[in-house]
């Protein structure tokens, strides 16, 4: 469901990919004709979404470094009620904080 934006809301920080379902661009794609839910409108930047997903699905020096170098990402937020990342994530980003099912990792600088 692409309508969640609580990480950005609670942290008051920018997030690379989160909750695009309520954006003007996404809502403009929803019409009464097709009755498509905003929850299923695809993300506008497939390359960015693929880079974000790769860092959590197949973490490596390359995938994590790409987020850092291309998009300026310094932190990774994981909601483990949605997806538990592979243990390898901890080899490429340093675990920094946990609260309940949420974990925060810091991406090392170059």
Span between the terminal Cα atoms of the chain, in Å: 34
Number of CB atoms found within 10 A of residue 8's CB: 14
Which phi and psi (to 5°) does residue 54 adopt? -60, -35
Token couple for 29: 């794609």
> How are beta strands 102-106 and 94-99 bridged, if at all?
antiparallel
The arithmetic mean of pLDDT across residues 83-89, rounded, is 90
Query: For residues 4 and 101, which has the higher predicted lDDT (pLDDT)?
Result: 101
Unique residue bearing structure tokens 């925060």: 104
Provide the pLDDT for residue 35: 66
Which phi and psi (to 5°) does residue 15 adopt? -125, 135
For 29-84, the pLDDT digits (tens) are 666 556 666 677 777 789 999 999 999 999 999 999 999 999 999 999 999 988 88
Provide the pLDDT for residue 22: 62
């Amino acid at each position: 469901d692409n309508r969640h934006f609580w990480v950005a809301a609670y942290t008051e920080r920018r997030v690379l990919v989160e909750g695009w379902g309520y954006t003007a661009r996404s809502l403009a794609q929803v019409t009464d004709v097709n009755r498509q839910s905003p929850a299923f409108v695809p993300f506008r930047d497939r390359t960015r979404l693929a880079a974000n997903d790769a860092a959590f699905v197949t973490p490596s020096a390359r995938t994590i470094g790409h987020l850092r170098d291309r998009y300026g990402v310094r932190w990774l937020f994981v909601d483990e009620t949605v997806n538990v990342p592979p243990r390898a994530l901890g080899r490429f980003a340093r675990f920094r904080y946990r609260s309940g099912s949420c974990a925060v990792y810091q991406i090392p600088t170059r």
